Chains A and B, each alone.
Chain A
């Protein structure tokens, strides 16, 4: 907790811990507090500077509006943020405003304040949103949270220019340079090309680092793979549509691809692929620029060769994995007005630009009109490494969340239990036929459908 609101807890702590309490870091906002108190639980950013910038923005706002701010950064490690959300929704107390990951807005919709007014004003100002955030945060026609800037991320390809050029003959920087004029090879950047590149890299000892476990990095890229093959397991109405040629095709494809991946990708977590890249063992992963940023610190010679570029396209198009966060205000909050005002303030272009800058371009704002910040062009080395990290018009790509368009209460279970990844694992590890894997998935999903 930061800030020095004089709460019951504060008094208790000060009394009980005595001197110790005075050693706490007090980042403070002290005004006449006419705006009351506001407790915020925001996503603990992987870039320390991301937290610092966020704190600065929020505290500034608090000072200007005479609102006392208590700010916690809640990590998503070990699903701590999910635990926090569950805890506060049960206890009906805690923070006024929280960062909600992907599916939680739907799950807690009846305890969240409607945000239609804010969304209306933001839409007028900044134009179109991507449809995924609408799918995730608009429940029964009402916005229950505002798509967040901080923490929302894409997971396009992040490759090694040198390795891919040398072993797979693909010049990714020429294909997707740091400007709006893609190279001639860009049109050919599809899953077939990808497979050949994976094979070549594997033979050279730099297998692609594609996780196929139950963590989000795995679910997200596999979701996009399925979508670009047109392989849909559940449609928007909630009918199971897994038994289709497209699903069979994508499973066949995945089986071929897995032959060129490390043997233990089935247990990889969100950090394993980063490590594969940073250690220099891998030529390509699907990830936000965090892997590159760590490499910049720990393995600069690797970082210099990194380049973000769009995911390959399939028969149905190109889909960039996307994992948004949302800012929501609890209906039991005692200071909803201030909380909503802050959310609206944070969503403005000026603040978005600051956050993107502080996070080395990691954060992806929900509005397409905000994908032109300078940071993405200048960040480096190599300069322009994250230029193609946000989805640009010339990518011909859409942001996508795995399991879309299944009804969210089914999709959340498919997503978190990694159904698609497990289908692949069955086909690859257990040598099952695609039809058997599909039959298994149908049985699982049938179970998710109960109310």
Chain B
């Protein structure tokens, strides 16, 4: 129901005769229309997300052969496993550090691009977007080739300057670094674009006003840019965090979780347990593990976003 009609006191006189009943009828009809408009969305989500999701929850309460209901047992079993806690640790490390780096790099790049004269911007922007446009499953293969023990082009270059070859994927520390690096490489341009869009939406007058008040560059960033970008930062970070937590291809292709399970994230571990070792319910439990935590985080973030956009409007 549009508040617009109600808050336009001058209008009704010229248009239809104002009657309470008509308005009510209109509003009822409107919600029917609104419901119909959202129906495809609702059906899509109920049919292809909510229903399979509930089914997956059900799966996670079954035993290995899927013949018996065992309740929480899969989860309590996971919590008692050393390997699983490694996976939790690595997933958090992977997602959080990758998202922070992506956000930071995206922010820097957006700023730098924004400062460029419009003519040069397009060229740079194009080059900086390349990682985001190559399908990640395949660009990860290319990275993998760069990390290959025998053929690593990185190591070739390092040897050229007299540095020992690096076991990119062979040692826990390096392997963790490598999977995060690839994720950052792939995801930063997305942040850059989102931030660039946000920056462009900050009215120039605000900066001019700040300049007149004698604000330094940092102060402008702190008091003008940040507040104006907060929503898009929250949304982008939230979106990216969720997607990064669910990441599968990068780890799967680069290390398959090795060495010694140190790079396993939820998705790859779930795959190994569920599909490769034939314990689908346990795999489903692994995948479900992060859901409650992320959901809480997401709900709070989205509430903040909604509140701020209401304030702004």
Contact = CB atoms under 8 A, between A and B. Distances in A.
Determine direct contact between A and B, CB below 8 Å: yes
B53 to A, nearest CB: 16
A395 interface: no
A24 to B, nearest CB: 23
A279 B150 CA distance: 7
Interface string A410-442: 001100111000100110011000000000100
Given A279-B150, A450-B77, A416 B169 contact: no
Contact of A447 (B77, B252, B257): B77
Contacts of B188: none
B64 interface: yes
Contact of B256 (A83, A214, A440, A443): A214
B77 A214 contact: no
A181 B124 CA distance: 68
Contacts of B167: 263-264, 267
Contacts, number: 96
Nearest to B144: A269
B69 to A, nearest CB: 13
Interface string B145-186: 000111100000000000000011111100100000000000
Interface stretch (B211-219, B232-240, B258-266): B258-266
A315 interface: no
A450 B64 contact: yes
Interface in B77-95: 77, 80-83
> Does more than half of chain B's interface fall in helix, strand or loop, or is it mixed?
loop
B185 to A, nearest CB: 19
Interface residues of A, number: 41
A302 B166 CA distance: 26
B79 to A, nearest CB: 12
Contacts of B231: none
A215 B260 contact: no
Contact of B171 (A86, A418, A429, A444): A429
Contacts of B150: 272, 275-276, 279, 281
A268 interface: yes
B258 A214 contact: yes
Contacts of B65: 451
B277 interface: yes
A265 interface: yes
Interface string A153-171: 0000000000000000000
Contact of A267 (B175, B272, B277, B279): B175
B151 A279 contact: yes
Given A86-B280, A265-B170, A266-B258, A272 B272 contact: no
A262 B83 CA distance: 26
Interface in B124-144: none
B60 interface: no
Contacts of B276: 79, 82, 416
Interface of B: 63-65, 77, 80-83, 148-151, 167-172, 175, 252-253, 255-261, 271-272, 275-280
What 3 A-B pairs have minimum CB-CB distances, sorted nearest first? A264-B170, A264-B167, A266-B259
Given A264-B170, A409-B278, A429-B260, 9 more contacts: A86-B280, A214-B256, A214-B272, A262-B170, A412-B277, A416-B272, A422-B261, A443-B82, A444-B83
19 contacts: A78-B252, A82-B275, A104-B278, A213-B256, A213-B258, A262-B170, A264-B168, A267-B167, A267-B169, A267-B175, A268-B149, A275-B150, A413-B278, A422-B260, A425-B260, A429-B171, A430-B260, A443-B82, A447-B77
Interface of A: 78-79, 82-83, 86, 103-104, 107, 213-215, 262-269, 272, 275-276, 279, 281, 409, 412-413, 416-418, 422, 425-426, 429-430, 440, 443-444, 447, 450-451
